[in-house]
Amino acid sequence: MTTAPTVTVKDSSQLAQGDIVRTHGMRVRLDHGASSERSDRTVYSWVGTVLNLDEVRANGHVPMSFLRTEKWEPAKGWVTDRKDVWVVQGNEFVNWLVEDPS
Protein backbone atom coordinates (compact mmCIF):
# COMPACT_ATOMS: atom_id res chain seq x y z
CA MET A 1 0.00 0.00 0.00
CA THR A 2 1.33 3.43 -0.91
CA THR A 3 0.31 6.62 0.79
CA ALA A 4 -0.11 9.95 -0.92
CA PRO A 5 2.39 12.61 0.07
CA THR A 6 1.09 15.39 2.26
CA VAL A 7 0.81 18.83 0.74
CA THR A 8 1.21 22.40 1.84
CA VAL A 9 -0.17 25.58 0.28
CA LYS A 10 2.25 28.14 -1.14
CA ASP A 11 1.59 31.30 -3.08
CA SER A 12 3.56 31.90 -6.28
CA SER A 13 6.16 34.04 -4.50
CA GLN A 14 6.99 31.12 -2.15
CA LEU A 15 7.64 28.49 -4.82
CA ALA A 16 11.20 27.17 -5.06
CA GLN A 17 13.29 25.06 -7.40
CA GLY A 18 12.58 21.37 -6.83
CA ASP A 19 9.07 21.92 -5.43
CA ILE A 20 6.48 19.47 -6.79
CA VAL A 21 3.31 21.39 -7.60
CA ARG A 22 -0.02 19.68 -8.18
CA THR A 23 -2.02 21.29 -10.97
CA HIS A 24 -4.56 20.03 -13.54
CA GLY A 25 -4.01 16.43 -12.41
CA MET A 26 -0.25 16.75 -12.91
CA ARG A 27 2.72 16.57 -10.56
CA VAL A 28 5.12 19.23 -11.84
CA ARG A 29 8.69 19.49 -10.50
CA LEU A 30 9.85 23.11 -10.76
CA ASP A 31 13.14 23.27 -12.67
CA HIS A 32 13.85 26.97 -13.17
CA GLY A 33 11.94 30.17 -12.64
CA ALA A 34 11.85 33.87 -13.32
CA SER A 35 9.91 36.85 -12.10
CA SER A 36 8.76 40.05 -13.73
CA GLU A 37 7.85 43.29 -12.00
CA ARG A 38 4.59 44.93 -13.04
CA SER A 39 3.24 48.26 -11.87
CA ASP A 40 1.03 46.64 -9.23
CA ARG A 41 2.56 43.20 -8.56
CA THR A 42 5.26 40.68 -9.35
CA VAL A 43 4.48 37.82 -11.75
CA TYR A 44 6.29 34.50 -11.27
CA SER A 45 6.86 31.82 -13.90
CA TRP A 46 8.39 28.36 -13.36
CA VAL A 47 9.26 25.89 -16.10
CA GLY A 48 8.78 22.38 -14.79
CA THR A 49 8.82 18.71 -15.68
CA VAL A 50 5.62 16.65 -15.51
CA LEU A 51 6.45 13.63 -13.33
CA ASN A 52 3.26 11.59 -13.88
CA LEU A 53 3.20 11.82 -17.68
CA ASP A 54 1.66 8.36 -18.22
CA GLU A 55 -1.25 9.19 -15.91
CA VAL A 56 -1.76 12.58 -17.56
CA ARG A 57 -1.79 10.94 -20.98
CA ALA A 58 -4.14 8.11 -19.92
CA ASN A 59 -6.64 10.38 -18.16
CA GLY A 60 -6.51 13.27 -20.64
CA HIS A 61 -5.87 15.85 -17.91
CA VAL A 62 -4.54 18.27 -20.54
CA PRO A 63 -3.98 17.94 -24.28
CA MET A 64 -0.57 16.37 -24.86
CA SER A 65 0.28 19.16 -27.31
CA PHE A 66 0.23 21.58 -24.34
CA LEU A 67 3.25 19.74 -22.88
CA ARG A 68 5.41 20.13 -25.97
CA THR A 69 8.12 22.65 -26.76
CA GLU A 70 9.91 23.14 -30.04
CA LYS A 71 13.26 24.52 -31.10
CA TRP A 72 14.82 25.50 -34.40
CA GLU A 73 17.49 23.22 -35.83
CA PRO A 74 19.36 24.28 -38.95
CA ALA A 75 18.66 21.97 -41.91
CA LYS A 76 15.67 20.47 -40.05
CA GLY A 77 13.53 23.45 -39.13
CA TRP A 78 11.28 23.35 -36.07
CA VAL A 79 11.57 20.08 -34.16
CA THR A 80 9.96 18.88 -30.95
CA ASP A 81 12.31 19.56 -28.09
CA ARG A 82 10.36 18.23 -25.07
CA LYS A 83 7.07 16.43 -24.44
CA ASP A 84 6.94 16.75 -20.65
CA VAL A 85 7.02 20.47 -19.85
CA TRP A 86 4.50 22.63 -17.99
CA VAL A 87 4.77 26.25 -16.91
CA VAL A 88 3.44 27.20 -13.47
CA GLN A 89 2.74 30.92 -13.35
CA GLY A 90 0.98 33.42 -11.13
CA ASN A 91 1.38 36.21 -8.62
CA GLU A 92 1.22 36.40 -4.84
CA PHE A 93 -2.58 36.00 -5.00
CA VAL A 94 -2.33 32.54 -6.66
CA ASN A 95 -2.01 29.55 -4.31
CA TRP A 96 -0.55 26.16 -5.22
CA LEU A 97 -0.65 22.71 -3.60
CA VAL A 98 2.97 21.65 -3.12
CA GLU A 99 4.00 18.18 -2.01
CA ASP A 100 5.94 18.14 1.23
CA PRO A 101 9.37 16.56 0.83
CA SER A 102 9.60 13.07 2.30
pLDDT tens for 10-32 read: 999 999 999 999 999 999 999 99
pTM, two decimals, is 0.87
Contact 7, 97 (CB under 8 A): yes
Residue type, 7: V
Nearest to 52 by CA among 16, 23, 31: 23
Q: How far is CA 18 from CA 55, 76, 84, in A?
A: 21, 33, 16
Give per-residue pLDDT as tens, 41-88: 999 999 999 999 999 999 998 999 999 999 999 999 999 999 999 999
Domains, the chain, ordered by start:
12-94 (2.30.30)
- Give the chain's radius of gyration (CA, Å): 15
